[in-house]
Amino acid sequence: MTPYEAASLFVAFAEAAQTGFANYIAILSGMLAASWFFAHRLTRLMAAILIFIFTVAAAGFGNEVFSIYSDLARLGAYLHEIGQAPEAGLGWLGPVRGPSGSMAPIPYIVLSLCAMGYVAALWFFFHVRKIRREERAADA
């Protein structure tokens, strides 16, 4: 693979990583909207089904995001190796300019963001469910 092909592949992976993370954020946003509008109206069974569907979707998209960012980090390490040669002409690319191994923690940072978003969405669901049910009981 030529240095240009590797750099082009890196840009394509970065776009795929951004799209995958955007899909995960869409799942979180959908859960937040469902929580706000419907959490207090759902029976326990329906709430369990919603949480199960959300968990499966979040786990799937979270795995996809982690895999893409892991590949991106490994490709960044490869680019750092081949970009050190003067004839490579990749000095402008981020992984080449940075220190060796600088991209290694990125997949774990993104994975922790996904996990925090998942936990926050579940907390929001149960919080809204409790608050809105208390409001309905007070109005009755």
Residue-wise pLDDT for 69-82, tens only, equals 999 999 988 888 88
pLDDT of 110: 96
Alpha-carbon distances of 83 from 9, 33, 86, 96, rounded to whole Å:
14, 45, 8, 6
* pTM of the predicted structure, to 2 decimals: 0.85
Q: At 132, is the secondary structure helix, strand, or coil?
A: helix
Kindly state the average pLDDT of the residues 115-134. 93
Mean pLDDT of the 72-96 span: 81
The DSSP symbol for 40 reads G
Of 70, 67, 72, nearest in space to 93 by CA = 72
What are the extents of the domains in the chain? 3-139
CA distances to 7, 9, 50, 97 from 1, rounded to whole Å, are: 10, 10, 46, 20
pLDDT 10s digits, 20-59: 999 999 999 999 999 999 988 999 999 999 999 999 999 9
The total number of residues shown for the chain amounts to: 140
Average pLDDT value over all residues in the chain:
90
Amino acid 106: pLDDT: 93
Greater pLDDT, 56 or 96:
56
